[in-house]
Amino acid sequence: MRTIAPQRPPKRPGIQQGKVYLVGAGPGDPDLLTLRAVRLLEKADVVVYDNLVSEEVLAFAPADAQRIYAGKRRNEHTMRQEQINSVLVRLAREGKQVVRLKGGDPFIFGRGGEEMIELASRGIAFEVVPGITAASGVASYAGIPLTHRDHAQTCLFVTGHLKNGSADLDWTTLARPHQTIVIYMGLNALPDICKQLMAHGAPTSRPIALVQNGTLGSQKILTGTLADLPARAAESGFVSPSLIIVGDVVRLQPSLSWFQPESTAALDQA
C-alpha cells in the first residue's frame, strides 16, 4: 500500500483560475480508489475532505498540499454546506487545483450535486470523478450480492437520516419482496426502520445485515432478522459508519464471506 506522498510538479505559468474536482474516495479501503482519483490527488494544491476519508487515502496527495477537513458526523458539522461551497469557489478563484474528496461516490448521498450546482452558478470549472459507492463496496466485502436472480431483481439505495432528522421513507415500497434495500446512515434509526418495514408488510423473518467499517481491517458484520437485529446490534456495540442491507440475499452471506482482514493485511506486507 502506498504511503509516500509524491512530489508536486511545477505549476504552469499563466493560470488565472483553478479547477475543482469532485472525487469519490470509495468505501474505505484505499486500494479501491480509481486511477483517476489517485492521479488528481498527486497533483492537488488543496484537498477538502470528508469524515470517512482515511489517512491512507490522503497520503496520495503531496506533502505540501493544503488539507481542509470538512467532515460531518451526526449532530456535528465542522463546516456547514454553504461554507464548504464558498471555500471551493474561493480556492478555485485563487488559481488552486482543488480535490473535493468524498467517501464513496459524490452523487450517492454525497451532496456532490449541490456543490456542482454552486460551482456552475459561479462559473468555476469542475470535473466529477465517480467512486465505488458504499453500497457496492461494503456489500461485496461482506459477501452479500446486491442482486441475485433467485432472490432480488431490484436494488434500492435509501438514506436513513433525512434532512429534517426523520426517517420518513416510502415504507410500503421498501417492504416489498424480491428486492434488496441498502440503507445509508441508518444505524441510529435501526429499531424504527425494522418496526416500519414489519408494519408495512415485511415478514419478521426477513434477513437483514449490519456492516460496520466495511472494506477495512476493522470490518464487523452482524446478520439477523427484522425482529431480532436491533436488540442484537445494541448488545454488540455497533457504531457508525455502518451500512444496513435488507433482503433475502443476506441469507447467502455465511457461504460467500470471502474477506478476511488478517489475510489481506498479510498480503499487503508481503
Q: Where are the domains of the chain?
A: 19-129, 134-256
Predicted confidence (pLDDT) per residue in 46-61, tens digit: 999 999 898 999 999 9
**Residue bearing the bigger pLDDT, 90 or 165:** 90
pLDDT band (50, 70, 90) for residue 258: very high
Identify whether 72 is a catalytic site residue: yes
Would you give the DSSP letter of residue 104? B
Catalytic residue among 29, 45, 50, 105: 50
Specify the pTM: 0.87
Does residue 267 register a pLDDT over 50? no
Q: Is the separation of the CB atoms in 167 and 161 below 8 Å?
A: yes
Cell, residue 174: 421498501
Catalytic residue among 43, 72, 195, 220: 72
β partners of residue 99: 21, 47
CATH number of 134-256: 3.30.950.10
Identify whether 192 is a catalytic site residue: no
What is the rounded CA–CA span in Å between residue 226 and residue 115?
A: 36
What is the rounded CA–CA span in Å between residue 96 and residue 45?
A: 6
Predicted confidence (pLDDT) per residue in 172-227, tens digit: 999 999 999 999 999 999 999 999 999 999 999 999 999 999 999 999 999 999 99
- The CATH T-level fold of domain 19-129 is Cobalt-precorrin-4 Transmethylase; domain 1 (3.40.1010)
Identify the sign of the CA torsion 175, 141, 70, 41: negative
On the CB side of 178, CA atoms within 13 Å amount to 3
Write the CA distances from 34 to 25, 30, 57, 209, integer angstroms. 8, 9, 11, 27
- Of 134, 136, 145, 138, nearest to 253 by C-alpha is 145
Cell, residue 232: 442484537
Cell, residue 247: 433482503
Q: What is the pLDDT, as a whole number, of residue 74?
A: 57
